[in-house]
Chain A
Amino acid sequence: MKIQILKESLKQAIGVVEKATAKNPTLPILEAVSLVADKNSLEVSGTDLEMGIRYRVLAKVEREGGVAVPARLFSQLVGALLEKEITLSLVAGELRVEAKDQQTNIKTLSLEEFPIIPSLQGNEEAIEIEADVFCGGLSQVVSIPGQSQTRPEISGIFVSIQKEGIKFAATDSFRLAEKMVNFPKPQSTEASFILPQKTAKELVSIFGDLEGKIKIYISPTQVLFEYSTKEEAGKISIQIVSRVIEGEYPAYQEIIPTEFGVKVQVPKQEIISRVKAAAVFSGKMEDIKLVVDPKKKGLEISAESQDAGRHSSFLKAAVTGKHLEISFNWRFLLEGFSNIKGEEVDIGFGGEDAPVLMRPLGKEQYLYVVMPVKA
């Protein structure tokens, strides 16, 4: 193999692919990326056997061929090079990286040992959506799943593709978030899958800032995300393939409360800073207390710690319903508010030991349900 390539393209490619590599003592090849040159492009790929990334960039190929090299080492090297253009060649079993007056020889691993990353079978259902819309929606729920030992289904994000849009849902059994993003116009594919949290995080970080559309191909056992630029100059294509989590996602709609004895509407920023202040004084259980006071028309937020002291604040708010005292883990509360994009938040309470629903006011289709802490 011998190719010439722009350093920037290679750096970006390796930066993305590196995310899929993994430390694995029994299978050290997983710490490597594979570089395969054919026709006029170089394909960089890596995998941890849960997800795999293939990243294709333009390159001037003098001799086709391929090699596997340790990912971290290669990415550090490429990052440190100053030249715009570099030459990669396979010489006597080593990868030679030449950049004008800099020369590096990297010990390689056997490409034969490198896992084959599954590709499209041709019978998958496919949909297309703007990358930033998809990732924006996903990012609002990606932090929620819990590593449940007993319920692997909820360790991932439920992605439900419907005619009008995509619904993302995630829960760790203490709280639940659901986000809906719309297609510009309805389409016909309907499908759903449970995406591992790791894949979801990488999707957001890899595709989140890209312009253009991604294509999603869904099969019963895996899902493939594909992004490619249209223009020939600087053409890249990225494929991320991931296993889907097996099992049936719980019927989470049953969890979303529909009746509220008490309703409060608060400005988001205000309540966030008040919750943060109270959090300083929360105890070991990280609990803070909310008191909904219809007489004083507002919400009291307080916390008390045996060792540190106590704090309370009062936030004027629109209140309907009766007096209610309820405690929460402040982290759960904060995460709900922070994931909301709008400025005003509607909070619906069902009682001191019932789930609470938080929703932005306005058009944003987002909701967050959280269970209280026992007082």
Chain B
Amino acid sequence: MNKDELWQATLAQLQFKISPANFATWLKNTFILSKKEGTLFVSVPNNFSKEWLEHKYNKIIFHAIKSLDNEVKEIRYTVERSRPKPKEAPSQPVSLREEDQMEFPEFKVDRSTNLNPRYSFDNFIVGGFNELAHAASLAIVKAPGSVYNPLFIYGGVGLGKTHLLQAVGNQIIKESPQKKLKYISSELFTSGVVSAIRNKNVDAFRSMYRELDVLIVEDVQFLAGKDKTQEELFHTFNTLYEAGKQIIFSSDRPPKAIPALEERLRSRFEGGMIADISLPDYETRIAILRTKMQEKEITLENEVLDYIASHIQRNIRELEGALNRLTAFSRLNSGKAPAFVEAKALLRTVIQNPNRVASPKKILQSVAEFYDLKEKDLLALSRKQEVVRPRQIAMYLLREDLKGSYPFIGKRFGGKDHTTAIYACVKIAKELEVSEILVDEIALIRQRIYSG
């Protein structure tokens, strides 16, 4: 019988000897901390419980435990300082709606975990596009470290990766407040490594990460080319993984598509569960809008919702941005929601953003960024493998998305022949039929092009 079971069995006996009110008051949130040479250490939530258990219930608790575990000679009660549990507080008065009254930015995140408590599963909307990632996350919350380890979530900008990861973190902390958890972006991790090296306290840096129960690292694609950081992450990963601790990564692309990533790290990323978040379908976009509407206490006509959902397709953050504009309008007009015509005018700048129209420049830029190349590499005459393929993909996109003519495409790439362009497009199109990975990559690149 382990210590939790022992305590459960003890409580089961005690409940017949103590009135329900007293039982609930004095034995709530108690548990066995440890057992050392016949002394059992019991954690109690406060000094009142400690006094009460010591003076009033010690005898019956001792008898109950003794009958289950003969070795116990003495029980000691200690008040543990644990992470505080959030209390249910009355909701804030209307006048303090956060979008009006600004908050100290420092307060939005928890310093020890880096989590923003606003992200939760309650306001996370599930649709076909993120079902798998959501289900995997929930499974992890139930049993961190034992089901999908590591979990690798990837997907484009503004689709809810951060929301999901933070929700996992918040939920784990809520259910087991004693767990040590850290949420960190790759960039912060990198700068941590750098300053640890500079200040010569690499050991302290390592031990801080290696004591964690849950580690969440965001945007690991930024680790590309940072060898020392990759090495640190690799070792941290191994330590945590072997100790059965949960690790979660996110990225804007699958591990295979991250350039300049050490093979051993890549294979670690792929070793657990990989889940993608794609684009939400129309129905999900409507559902998201409706949830946000409730949060912002605004009602919009179905026609307006339909207009937003059918024009903003690739980014949930932009959906929210559009809704914010309409909310601001309605507040300025004493709560009157904008009609369809007004809404259309208000959203013109959001929807007809020149950024969301593809251009040859934009395509080249996005492809280069995605493969961690320079734009001019794509246009140069190099035949290196790592340049050739991205170049072909760029050509394919110019053809498919901009309907560019082959001679135009050829010219654009440093005066290549139109046959080169034809060859590239056919090759990529063919490969798309067989390679899921390529389908993914192209989807992610398109995401960048259209949501930039």
Contacts and interface: CB of A to CB of B under 8 A. Distances in A.
Nearest to B118: A150
A132 interface: no
Contacts of B48: 47, 49, 52, 115-118
A147 B96 CA distance: 13
A35 interface: no
Interface in B339-359: none
A221 interface: yes
Interface stretch (A66-74, A89-97, A246-254, A317-325): A246-254
B112 interface: yes
B113 to A, nearest CB: 11
Contact of A174 (B51, B103, B106, B112): B103
Contacts of B101: 174, 285, 329, 332, 371, 373-374
A250 B92 CA distance: 21
B16 interface: no
A123 interface: no
Interface residues of B, number: 42
Contacts of A220: 79, 81
Nearest to A49: B48
Contact of B83 (A49, A155, A246, A374): A246
Interface in A275-332: 284-287, 306, 329, 332
B122 to A, nearest CB: 13
A171 B86 CA distance: 17
A286 B81 contact: no
B47 A174 contact: no
Contacts of B97: 285
Contacts of B46: 49, 221-222, 243
Contacts of B95: 284-286, 329
Given A26-B25, A173-B103, A176-B104, A248 B81 contact: no
A245 B96 contact: no
Interface string A220-233: 11100000000000
Interface residues of A, number: 52
A286 B100 CA distance: 10
B167 to A, nearest CB: 13
A151 interface: yes
Interface string A170-188: 0101101000000000000
A221 B81 contact: yes
Given A115-B48, A220-B81, A250-B111, A285 B106 contact: no
Interface of A: 26-27, 47, 49, 52, 113, 115-118, 146-155, 171, 173-174, 176, 220-222, 241, 243, 245-248, 250-252, 254-255, 284-287, 306, 329, 332, 353, 355, 369, 371-374
20 contacts: A26-B24, A49-B46, A113-B22, A147-B87, A147-B89, A149-B89, A150-B86, A150-B117, A152-B87, A155-B87, A221-B79, A222-B47, A246-B83, A247-B83, A252-B106, A285-B95, A371-B104, A372-B102, A373-B102, A374-B102
